[in-house]
Structure 1
């Protein structure tokens, strides 16, 4: 039983922990959907899907606590999707993403 407990404790660092992601959106009446993911411990990404008939211009602001926010501007054609990613120098504990989209 002791060997089993040691084995479990030894494997504990191999488990991956995901950080929470909060997304605040301002879509201005557009048919936009998103999927935010934790790519790595210091990289966050978001996929923005445009289901409307009008092209969209989106501004994505990634915020990770004390570090400076990372701003990305992406264009999402009608019926397509685009990605935005941000890399930070520290490990992400909680990611806050502000997504603002408007018609092009």
Structure 2
């Protein structure tokens, strides 16, 4: 029984930092790859990379519950990478990200 309790106690911190991230994307024919990440209980990020041959303009809206949504923008040349980070005043329960890229 003690072994079972120790194993459960060891797994609890792993689940405490993670929160779900919902991503709604509209790439509009662009070749943008993305990776989302939870940096902190109140911070989230998305990394964008332009794999196409033409410049791309991307707009990202981060939403967390009752707080006002926060917008970040990035212009990416071919082969360029951008890391967009957002910090909320409250702990993130579920992060919703809307990504829209236009050529």
Q: Give the Cα–Cα distance (whole angstroms) in 1 for the partners of residues 26 and 8 of structure 2.
A: 45
1:17 CA displacement: 3.3
- Report SS of the residue matched to 2:67: coil
CA RMSD, aligned part only? 1.9
- How many pairs does the alignment contain? 102
Query: Once structures 1 and 2 are overlaid, which stretch shifts more, 14-23 or 82-91?
Result: 14-23
Q: Give the Cα–Cα distance (whole angstroms) in 1 for the partners of residues 91 and 79 of structure 2.
A: 34
Q: CA distance change for structure 1 residues 14 and 22 in 2, over 3 Å: closer, same or farther?
A: closer
Alignment gaps of 5+ in structure 1: none
1:76 CA displacement: 1.3
User: Residues 51-70 of structure 1 correspond to what in structure 2 (within 5 A)?
Assistant: 51-70=51-70
Alignment gaps of 5+ in structure 2: none
Q: Does 1:77 align with 2:67?
A: no
* Structure with max Cα Rg: 1
Q: For each residue in 1:29-56, what CA deviation from the matched residue of structure 2 results, as whole angstroms up to 9, or x when unmatched?
A: 0111110010110000000111000111
Q: Give the Cα–Cα distance (whole angstroms) in 2 for the partners of residues 51 and 58 of structure 1.
A: 13
Q: Give the Cα–Cα distance (whole angstroms) in 2 for the partners of residues 10 and 67 of structure 1.
A: 32
Equivalent position of 2:46 in the other structure: 46
Large movers: runs of 4+ above 3 Å? 1-5, 7-17
Query: Once structures 1 and 2 are overlaid, which stretch shifts more, 83-92 or 8-17?
Result: 8-17
